[in-house]
Amino acid sequence: MAKKKVFITYKIPEAGINLLRKNGFSVEVYSKENLITRQELIRNVKDADALISLLTDKIDREIIDKMERCRIIANYAVGFNNIDIDYARNKGIIVTNTPDVLTDSTADLTMTLVLACARRLNEGERIMRQKQFKGWRPELLLGYELKDKIFGIIGMGRIGLAVARRAFAFGCRIIYYSNNKNSEAEKLFNAKKVSLKTLMKSSDIISLHIPLNNKTKTLINSDYLNLMKKTAIFINTARGEVIDENHLISLLKKKKIFAAGFDVYKNEPDINPELVKLDNVVLLPHIGSATVEARSAMAKLAAKNVIAVLTGKKPITPVN
């Protein structure tokens, strides 16, 4: 009897691949450095029993229709907006993601961006690399301390809660906007649930932690962005499409807010060239989960979902 085939659209950490092979599956990994093309994806999914995909792989109706044997699409990400999950469900294909395991890595990176913006680290590092440092000055690169600042979290889920824990340790006061009340955040960190308008107006630091869907696309529009303080810091480690990126750029250009930190972008991997020109931004290449621990755990979770479904068990983290 032929082994069931698992196709992976890009090389993931060996922990996941080895787990699949130890459980008797035939694993094929797209081996080129570039991201898989649509044509190559179609060719490889035809006889696959399971697909492990990246957030950059668009798994739409056409791709799903080519999956003659596939029973599970295991997305190697927390997000799954790259997959038509409703159509997959109609075709009897389970879709899973990798939540929980990248919570701490993303929360750590969020605070990295907050600190980099607050203390103008990119500007300072550039001065040193370009040998422009002329010695200590009383007002050289003045930034802001975090103590007693109002830290606004949009989306108080797993990652939002982890960010709240870190911000609270820095002495910040936590407010949040979320669909549901988070009793744990309120008990542990004295967090206060507020309206989105209140959060945007009151916060010294604003951090986004919401998924991308029809309800959240451009949720943070120009009207909300215009409410921010001139001293505000805006951080996005969620998805580029949940904000009006062009309007945020215009505010940064006019110094209407202090700074912004980005790990995600509207047209990723393309970046708005206007962002690169700005001194008051910190730009990272979508590395929120880029730790050895998180990426290995993601690989193992994706593999465990595949193993469960292909052996007739329930998936661990289904999204559809």
**CB distance 207 to 183 below 8 Å:** no
Model pLDDT for residues 240-271, shown as the tens digit of each residue: 999 999 999 999 999 999 999 999 999 999 99
Residue 196 has φ and ψ, to the nearest 5°, of -65, -40
Whether residue 1 is predicted with pLDDT greater than 70 in this model: the reply is no
Provide the pLDDT confidence category of residue 4 given band limits of 50, 70 and 90.
very high
Q: DSSP strand E in the chain: where?
A: 5-8, 26-29, 50-53, 72-75, 94-96, 150-154, 173-177, 192-193, 205-208, 233-236, 259-262, 281-283
Same fold yes or no, 5-99+292-310 and 103-283: yes
184 included as an active-site residue = no
Provide the pLDDT confidence category of residue 282 given band limits of 50, 70 and 90.
very high
Helix axes 14-22 and 292-310, enclosed angle (nearest 10): 20
Helix axes 158-169 and 103-118, enclosed angle (nearest 10): 50
Percent of the chain clearing pLDDT 70 (strictly above): 100
Model pLDDT for residues 105-146, shown as the tens digit of each residue: 999 999 999 999 999 999 999 999 999 999 999 999 999 999
d(CA 317, CA 311): 16
89 included as an active-site residue = no
d(CA 172, CA 224): 22
Query: Which is catalytic among the residues 239, 241, 245, 295?
Result: 239
Give the tokens for residue 90: 């109609």
Q: In degrees, to the nearest 5, what angle opens at C-alpha 102 toward C-alphas 97 and 106?
A: 125
Model pLDDT for residues 47-74, shown as the tens digit of each residue: 999 999 999 999 999 999 999 999 999 9
d(CA 88, CA 67): 10
How confident is the model at residue 285, as a pLDDT?
97
- 181-201 mean pLDDT: 98
Q: Could you tell me which CATH class the domain 103-283 is placed in?
A: alpha beta
Q: Which sequence spans correspond to the domains of the chain?
A: 5-99+292-310, 103-283
Conformation bin of residue 83: beta by default, left when phi > 0, alpha when psi is -120 to 50:
beta
Query: Which is catalytic among the residues 89, 165, 166, 286?
Result: 286
- 217-226 mean pLDDT: 97
Supply the pTM of this predicted model: 0.92
Query: Which is catalytic among the residues 123, 186, 268, 274?
Result: 268
247 included as an active-site residue = no
Whether residue 301 is predicted with pLDDT greater than 90 in this model: the reply is yes
How confident is the model at residue 2, as a pLDDT?
78
- 283-294 mean pLDDT: 97
Model pLDDT for residues 205-216, shown as the tens digit of each residue: 999 999 999 999
Q: Enter the CATH code of domain 5-99+292-310.
A: 3.40.50.720
Provide the pLDDT confidence category of residue 39 given band limits of 50, 70 and 90.
very high
- 160-172 mean pLDDT: 98
Stretch (H or E) spanning 222? helix 222-225
Three-state DSSP at 234 gives: strand
Model pLDDT for residues 265-278, shown as the tens digit of each residue: 999 999 999 999 99
What dihedral angle (degrees, nearest 10) is formed by the CA atoms of 288, 292, 294, 297? 150
DSSP state of 52: E
